[in-house]
Structure formats: structure tokens, C-alpha cells
């Protein structure tokens, strides 16, 4: 089989890139190890920046996001028994939408299917060949048969455990990583919203996040030991912990509900400063990972895709290689800004094991500053909605 762009991974990055290339008349094939049902049912949270919202709308896949997503014009920071609001729209003129990542995937898959896009689910034994030449190929097995996809470019959107990043010679890779000594205990529950907007809570017991999935389903997290087990946490214990960390002195309380899902996720920061090698280009989690505190994961993937779409279009329409040659350097500007913001939010909001009372008070002082200084709040708001980060 022959195509112009071979894409490995049917997450938001791979699917969106395939759709955007299609709109520009560029052919692609998307290869995915999981089934369609698996990628559409893997529940992951989603906070979409203004730029992500705009791009999905421009691409014609934003209708359900607008109809079912929750448009938020701000969020709350809870600390010392009080809540203070960061007015995103008032400070920046922009907003965010809470819309789960798997819902974005459903919209993108539907768009690719409607356009007769080439999607191959359930592939295995994927390997890359000739990526340092102008005739790369991807070999894989699909429905029991050995297959080879010849293409002009390979785009690795297959996450941190995929084959793409590992195909770059180790001697040429430059990776940066920070593993955090805490994780997030996440729950999904049936019940009313606790707030109209997201609540980020800093407490001496640890961080907590209150989010709304829908009018009847809520998503909540609290900081925990990443080696802990969900079996150690009864529903009553979970609610007691969330109330202790989030309830405010002025009578605002977390709304309890029936918990129907529990999980624990670890947290780390990672950047591959080598996002390209020959005709291979990395995007999304294959190239970078951020802790979820800053809500940047999917938005960084979309930003990568925006750059790649422009660069590939320049190659096919104008026979230009300069944007592809500069892809890694350009993308890393935004990535490191987002990494810093996520690290800053994480460090300010979480209980740091071994932190002295002095260091704990510094966290409170910083929260006081960003919630009382318009300039400081604007910096936070600009980074959160994404408009202050260079795109290209």
C-alpha cells in the first residue's frame, strides 16, 4: 500500500492530523493497535484551550463539543478555607471547554469514516524502516496478514510506549524527565455538580481537583501515594478526604454521589528534545508528557498537529522543506512553556513530602499573590487558555 503520510496512533493527534491533511487534499493512513471500541471508550478528562476549540471548529468537528461540552470562563483556586476565582475571559478575552478526550476521539473517528479515511485498527508488530531516507515505510500485521505501508513521511502519534520514539537512534535522542513522588486518585460519580467551574484546591493534606463531566456525572481527583491501591479507599473515606481538602469556610461543600469508577494515575513530566529524525516526526505523548495539573496534555498534541499540518502542506503545495526541518525547534518553544506552567501549578498546589512549614507558607503566599494581583492572575489565565504561547 502507498500513501503520502503514514500516521501511527489513533489518538487525538493522529486522527486530527489525518483529518486536517484530508481537508488539504493530502492522503494519509492511520494505524492503531487498539480497536475502535477501545479508543472510544477509554475515559480521559479533557480541558480544551481556546486554540484547540477554534481548530476543531475550523476543521468541522466541533459541533458536538459546542453542544455538549461545558464552556468555562474561569476556574476557582481553593486554599486556606476560601475560594478565589481566576476570571479567564475577563483577563484574556478567551475561555476553555471541558470536553472529555474520548469524546473528541469519537468526533474525529466519525469524521474520518464519513470521508472514507483509511483507518486500520487492531494492527500489531509495527516497525519503521528507511526513516532516514526519502522512502520510509511501516510494516505491520493486520487481520492476520503481513502488510507494508510505503509513504513520504511517518508521523509517530503512538504515545510514550509506542515504536516511533524508540525508532530514533539512542545516540541522537535527548530526553528530559521528572517523575513526581505523588499521584492522583480519580473517581467518577453520579450526582450534581459541586461548582459551575473547575476547583483546584491546595490543602495541607494534599491537592484536590473538582471537575464536571455532565449535569449528572462528576470527575474528582485528590493527591495520593502512586503506589496506593483503590482497594484501600472506601467510598466514605474518599468523601471524607475530598470534604477535608475542598470545603470552604463560607459554606461551599463538595456534593457527594454514587462512585462508579476509581483509579490511581502516576504523574511525570517528559520531553524528547529530538522530535524528528529523517522522515519521522513525533507528536503528542510520543514526544512529551505533562502532569495534568496544567491541563495541557491534549492541547500540546493539537499544537503539534497544527504545526505539522502547515509544514506538510508547504511541502506538497510549495515543495518547501524548511517548516518540516524546523518543526522540532518550533514545537519545543510551546512545549517547554507548557511544561513550566504545569510544573509551576503542580508545585504550588500539591503537598510536597518533606516540605518545611516555611516552604508550605510559600505556597500559600504564592496563591495569595496570583489571586489578588491582576498582573499575576493574567499570567496564569493566559497560560491556562493558551493564547500567550507561541504557535509557530
**Active site members:** 72, 200, 292, 296, 384
Whole-number Å distance between alpha carbons of 51 and 95: 10
Count CA atoms within 13 Å of residue 107 on its CB side. 22
Q: Where are the alpha helices (DSSP H) in the chain?
A: 12-23, 36-41, 50-58, 63-68, 88-92, 101-114, 163-166, 235-246, 297-318, 322-325, 327-349, 357-372, 374-385
**Residue 226 DSSP label:** T
Whole-number Å distance between alpha carbons of 278 and 165: 12
* CA angle at 294 for the pair 288 and 297, rounded to the nearest 5°: 35
Closest residue by Cα to residue 286 from 129, 124, 158, 155: 158
Work out the burial of residue 353: count CB atoms within 10 Å of its CB; fewer than 13 is exposed, 13-18 middle, 19 or more buried: exposed
Whole-number Å distance between alpha carbons of 314 and 325: 12
**Residue 182 DSSP label:** E
Closest residue by Cα to residue 208 from 238, 237, 233: 238
In which region does residue 179 sit, left (phi positive, over 0), alpha (psi from -120 to 50) or beta (all else)?
beta
Work out the burial of residue 192: count CB atoms within 10 Å of its CB; fewer than 13 is exposed, 13-18 middle, 19 or more buried: exposed
Whole-number Å distance between alpha carbons of 131 and 372: 52
CB atoms near residue 126 (< 10 Å): 22
CB atoms near residue 166 (< 10 Å): 15
Cell of 296: 495541557
Amino acid at each position: 500500500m502507498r500513501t503520502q503520510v503514514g500516521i501511527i496512533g489513533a489518538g487525538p493527534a493522529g486522527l486530527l492530523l489525518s483529518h486536517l491533511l484530508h481537508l488539504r487534499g493530502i492522503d494519509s493512513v492511520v494505524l492503531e493497535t487498539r480497536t475502535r471500541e477501545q479508543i472510544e471508550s477509554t475515559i480521559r478528562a479533557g480541558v480544551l484551550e481556546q486554540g484547540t476549540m477554534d481548530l476543531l471548529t475550523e476543521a468541522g468537528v466541533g459541533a458536538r463539543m459546542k453542544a455538549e461540552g461545558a464552556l468555562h470562563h474561569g476556574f476557582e483556586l481553593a486554599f486556606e478555607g476560601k475560594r478565589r476565582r481566576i476570571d479567564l475571559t475577563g483577563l484574556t478575552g478567551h475561555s476553555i471547554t471541558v470536553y472529555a478526550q474520548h469524546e473528541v476521539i469519537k468526533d474525529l473517528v466519525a469524521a474520518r469514516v464519513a470521508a472514507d479515511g483509511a483507518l486500520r485498527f487492531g494492527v500489531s508488530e509495527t516497525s519503521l524502516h528507511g526513516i532516514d531516507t526519502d522512502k520510509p515505510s511501516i510494516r505491520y500485521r493486520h487481520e492476520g496478514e503481513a502488510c507494508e505501508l510505503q509513504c513520504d513521511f511517518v508521523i509517530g502519534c503512538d504515545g510514550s510506549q509506542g515504536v516511533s520514539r524508540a525508532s530514533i537512534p539512542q545516540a541522537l535522542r535527548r530526553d528530559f524527565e521528572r517523575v513526581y513522588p505523588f499521584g492522583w486518585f480519580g473517581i467518577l460519580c453520579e450526582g450534581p455538580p459541586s461548582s459551575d467551574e473547575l476547583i483546584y484546591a491546595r490543602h495541607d493534606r494534599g491537592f484536590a481537583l473538582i471537575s464536571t463531566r455532565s449535569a449528572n456525572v462528576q470527575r474528582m481527583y485528590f493527591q495520593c501515594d502512586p503506589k496506593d491501591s483503590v482497594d484501600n479507599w472506601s467510598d466514605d473515606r474518599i468523601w471524607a478526604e475530598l470534604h477535608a481538602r475542598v470545603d470552604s469556610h463560607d459554606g461551599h461543600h463538595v456534593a457527594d454521589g454514587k462512585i462508579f469508577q476509581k483509579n490511581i494515575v502516576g504523574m511525570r513530566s517528559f520531553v524528547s528534545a529530538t522530535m524528528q529524525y529523517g522522515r519521522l516526526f513525533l507528536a503528542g505523548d510520543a514526544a512529551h508528557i505533562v502532569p495534568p495539573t496544567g491541563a495541557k496534555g491534549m492541547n500540546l498534541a493539537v499544537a503539534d498537529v497544527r504545526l505539522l499540518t502547515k509544514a506538510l502542506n508547504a511541502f506538497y503545495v510549495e515543495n518547501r522543506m524548511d517548516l518540516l526541518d524546523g518543526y522540532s525547534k518550533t514545537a519545543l518553544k510551546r512545549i517547554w512553556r507548557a511544561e513550566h506552567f504545569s510544573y509551576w501549578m503542580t508545585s504550588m498546589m500539591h503537598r510536597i513530602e518533606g516540605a518545611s512549614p516555611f516552604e508550605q507558607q510559600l505556597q500559600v503566599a504564592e496563591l495569595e499573590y496570583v489571586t489578588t494581583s491582576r498582573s499575576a492572575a493574567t499570567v496564569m489565565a493566559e497560560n491556562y487558555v493558551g493564547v500567550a504561547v507561541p504557535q509557530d
